[in-house]
């Protein structure tokens, strides 16, 4: 779309807005009819660790949403000299899972518990045994059941249990709904009906009865919708909540709110069988759309769905780039101390590129990037570590290579189950997220870890905000009986450009050697968790 066409589209409301609340950034993206971003706005934020809980305050949620929207609005005004008043469709996405429990008046009963918490071990284990279906610690149902086991007094007052995306959508539309992909991270989904699994609902309700809890699970969970469904409209109050200036008008259509896993699949055109994607940022997860169910339950593998309900095997690691970011900040501090000014983005690029010149296995160095716990490796807490022996080849290139390998270590342990034990086949993997921002580096190391080609599209940097905008666009533009897969392939990605990294045997062998060291060294990480109190001053 040229500038004049874009200006007319904005004036006529023929535009679509997507907003995603990620771990460290809230991003708003506005797209036109050709699905190309025409404006964006960002707000940086961080989770807090309060009273043993990883959380975000609701005040921060609304401040961040309003700030990202206002920055997008400012860009529209500056670029196109047109007020942003009417938006054809809107979609909201956020970090999946977690625990937002509200009473009948819509009041939050306890602080928001995010996906990052690893405090639901007993609940997750008991529910996995009860359902014969893997329930990870970060799932909403695990948080709910753990609160029941803990005899938390707020349980009796729960009227509405939802996720962050579901909460925002409800506040802006009055609709207690979720997209099926997001819902599958709250409670298991039956892909034949695209509803919560009825057998498991009944099993859980029996537990509620035994605890003398009056409500039933189906009464507090959001309604499940699939991609393309209309999920309500922006109310007058909702419009003012998002845009306190009053410029934004109500009545925009909203698509079902989705989680970051679903929007990542959409943003990489990975919603069809035998496709997959890896999202690598603060956390890292791989999503593989399956041809058939897995042969058995694996605690390391989550079973979720695409935004249309197809079964997806998900390997999720809580930690990816946080430790790398911390080291880069240290190098930045050193550069400043010696009077050298260097842009942080340039510093990231330089250090990432340096990793390509290191020894294949990282020179015998070992790192653990565990800012928080990792269920896959059975750790409820994390301690970032860097370890070497006197014989290690301690260079900057090996140091960076070891940390980049470490960012993928836990993910690799989970993926090996799919590829080696279940013989899952995939035709293509797409990467997106901050790990892939530096050209070639993250992509090449991911290819080595998965031993499959990894592609990164030119649009990969747009991420989940663009993905949820595409879902909102699909809702209003889909043809009769047109599937999401067809819409994405024919209307969005037909002319998409990108790059593909094939596995380099030296990297593959080096990563394999690193992983042998990584697995043996997990006892060091466990000892550090036991020995070092995270609350010690």
Residue from 307, 268, 256, 253 nearest 16 by CA: 253
Assess contact for 300 and 453: CB atoms under 8 A.
no
Q: Which long-range contacts (CB under 8 A, 24 or more apart) does 64-67 make?
A: 64/21, 64/26, 65/19, 65/21, 65/26, 65/168, 65/242, 66/242, 66/243, 66/244, 67/26, 67/41, 67/43
Q: From the CB of residue 388, how many other CB atoms can be counted at a distance below 10 Å? A: 17
Q: Is residue 400 part of a domain?
A: yes
Tokens representing residue 153 in the block:
């007094």
**How confident is the model at residue 537, as a pLDDT?**
45
Q: What is the dihedral of CA 218, 221, 223, 224, to 10 degrees?
A: -100
Assess contact for 289 and 271: CB atoms under 8 A.
yes
Task: For Cα atoms 409, 414, 419, give the angle at the middle one, nearest 5 degrees.
Answer: 115
**How confident is the model at residue 534, as a pLDDT?**
62
**How confident is the model at residue 459, as a pLDDT?**
66
Q: From the CB of residue 291, how many other CB atoms can be counted at a distance below 10 Å? A: 12
Going residue by residue through the chain, which has 537 residues, state the pLDDT in tens, using 9 for 90 and above: 788 899 999 999 999 999 999 989 999 999 999 999 999 999 999 999 999 999 999 999 999 999 999 999 999 999 999 999 999 999 999 999 999 999 999 999 999 999 989 899 999 999 999 999 999 999 999 999 999 999 999 999 999 999 999 999 999 999 999 999 999 999 999 999 999 999 999 999 999 999 999 999 999 999 999 999 999 999 999 999 999 999 999 999 999 999 998 998 999 899 999 889 998 888 898 999 998 888 899 988 999 999 999 999 999 899 999 999 999 999 999 999 999 999 999 999 999 999 999 999 999 999 999 999 998 999 989 999 999 999 999 999 999 999 999 999 999 999 999 999 999 988 889 988 889 989 899 999 999 999 989 998 876 556 789 999 999 999 999 987 899 999 999 999 988 778 999 999 999 999 999 999 999 999 999 999 999 976 654
Classify the phi-psi angles of 298: left when phi > 0, otherwise alpha if psi is within -120 to 50, otherwise beta. Answer: beta
Residue from 197, 187, 195, 196 nearest 144 by CA: 187
**How confident is the model at residue 3, as a pLDDT?**
87
Q: For residue 389, give its domain range.
A: 322-406+505-531
- Structurally, the chain folds into a number of domains equal to 1
The whole-angstrom separation of Cα 179 and Cα 227 is 7
Place of tokens 């466990």: 526
User: Could you read off the pLDDT of 332-366 as tens digits, one per residue?
Assistant: 999 999 999 999 999 999 999 999 999 999 999 99
The whole-angstrom separation of Cα 402 and Cα 392 is 12
Residue from 260, 287, 261, 255 nearest 274 by CA: 287
Helices (H), 236-307: 236-242, 260-267
Q: Is residue 334 part of a domain?
A: yes
Q: Is 295 exposed, middle or buried (0-12, 13-18, 19+ CB in 10 A)?
A: exposed
The whole-angstrom separation of Cα 26 and Cα 290 is 30
Q: From the CB of residue 251, how many other CB atoms can be counted at a distance below 10 Å? A: 12
Q: From the CB of residue 454, how many other CB atoms can be counted at a distance below 10 Å? A: 26
**How confident is the model at residue 535, as a pLDDT?**
60
Rg of the Cα atoms in the chain? 23
Q: From the CB of residue 508, how many other CB atoms can be counted at a distance below 10 Å? A: 16
Q: Is residue 426 part of a domain?
A: no
Measure Cα distances from 12 to 9, 87, 243, 430 in Å. Answer: 5, 9, 19, 35
Tokens representing residue 502 in the block:
């094939």
Q: Is residue 118 part of a domain?
A: no
The whole-angstrom separation of Cα 340 and Cα 338 is 6
The whole-angstrom separation of Cα 55 and Cα 47 is 6
Measure Cα distances from 305 to 192, 254, 492 in Å. Answer: 11, 20, 21
Q: Is residue 127 part of a domain?
A: no
Tokens representing residue 302 in the block:
């989550």
**How confident is the model at residue 65, as a pLDDT?**
98
The whole-angstrom separation of Cα 109 and Cα 526 is 34
Q: Is residue 360 part of a domain?
A: yes
**Nearby residues of 494 by Cβ (< 8 Å), 6 or more positions away:** none
Q: Is residue 9 part of a domain?
A: no
Place of tokens 């879902």: 471
The sign of the dihedral angle between the CA atoms of 52, 58, 63, 68 is positive
Q: Is residue 336 part of a domain?
A: yes
């Amino acid at each position: 779309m040229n500038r004049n066409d874009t200006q007319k589209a904005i004036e006529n409301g023929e535009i679509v807005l997507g907003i995603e609340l990620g771990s460290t950034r809230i991003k708003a993206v506005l797209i036109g009819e050709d699905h190309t971003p025409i404006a964006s706005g960002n707000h940086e934020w961080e989770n807090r660790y309060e009273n043993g809980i990883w959380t975000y305050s609701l005040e921060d949620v609304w401040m961040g949403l309003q700030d990202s929207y206002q920055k997008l609005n400012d860009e529209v005004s500056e670029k196109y000299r047109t007020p942003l008043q009417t938006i054809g469709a809107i979609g909201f996405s956020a970090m999946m899972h977690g625990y937002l429990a509200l009473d009948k008046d819509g009041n939050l009963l306890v602080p928001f518990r995010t996906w990052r918490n690893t405090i639901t071990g007993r609940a997750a284990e008991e529910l996995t045994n009860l359902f014969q279906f893997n329930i990870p610690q970060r799932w909403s149902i695990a948080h709910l059941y753990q609160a029941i086991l803990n005899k938390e007094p707020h349980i009796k007052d729960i009227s509405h249990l939802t996720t962050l995306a579901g909460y925002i959508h409800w506040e802006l539309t009055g609709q207690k709904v979720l997209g099926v992909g997001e819902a599958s991270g709250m409670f298991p989904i039956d892909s034949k009906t695209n509803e919560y699994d009825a057998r498991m609902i009944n099993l859980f309700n029996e537990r509620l009865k035994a605890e003398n809890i009056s409500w039933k699970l189906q009464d507090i969970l959001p309604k499940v919708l699939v991609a393309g469904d209309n999920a309500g409209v922006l109310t007058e109050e909702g419009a003012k909540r998002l845009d306190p200036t009053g410029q934004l008008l109500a009545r925009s259509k909203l698509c079902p709110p989705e989680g970051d896993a679903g929007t990542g699949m959409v943003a990489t055109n990975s919603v069809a069988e035998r496709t997959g994607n890896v999202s690598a940022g603060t956390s890292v997860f791989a999503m593989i759309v399956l041809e058939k169910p897995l042969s058995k339950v694996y605690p390391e593998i989550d079973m979720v769905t695409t935004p249309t309900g197809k079964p997806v095997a998900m390997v999720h690691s809580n930690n990816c780039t946080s430790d790398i970011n911390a080291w880069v900040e240290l190098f930045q501090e050193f550069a400043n101390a010696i009077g050298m000014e260097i842009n942080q983005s340039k510093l990231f690029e330089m250090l990432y590129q340096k990793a390509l010149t290191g020894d294949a296995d990282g020179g015998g160095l070992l790192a653990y990037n565990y800012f928080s716990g990792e269920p896959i490796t059975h750790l409820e807490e994390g301690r970032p570590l860097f370890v070497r022996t006197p014989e290690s080849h301690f260079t900057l290139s090996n140091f960076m290579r070891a940390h980049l390998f470490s960012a993928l270590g836990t993910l690799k342990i989970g993926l090996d189950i799919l590829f080696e034990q279940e013989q899952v086949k995939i035709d293509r993997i797409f990467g997106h997220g901050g790990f892939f921002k530096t050209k070639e580096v993250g992509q090449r190391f991911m290819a080595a870890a998965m031993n499959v080609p990894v592609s990164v599209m030119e649009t990969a940097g747009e991420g989940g905000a663009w993905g949820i905008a595409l879902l909102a666009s699909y809702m209003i533009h889909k043809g009769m009986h047109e599937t999401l897969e067809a819409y994405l392939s024919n209307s969005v990605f037909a002319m998409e450009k990108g790059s593909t990294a094939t596995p380099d045997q030296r990297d593959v062998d080096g990563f394999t050697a690193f992983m042998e060291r990584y697995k043996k060294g997990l006892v060091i990480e466990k000892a550090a968790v036991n020995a070092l109190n995270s609350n010690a001053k």
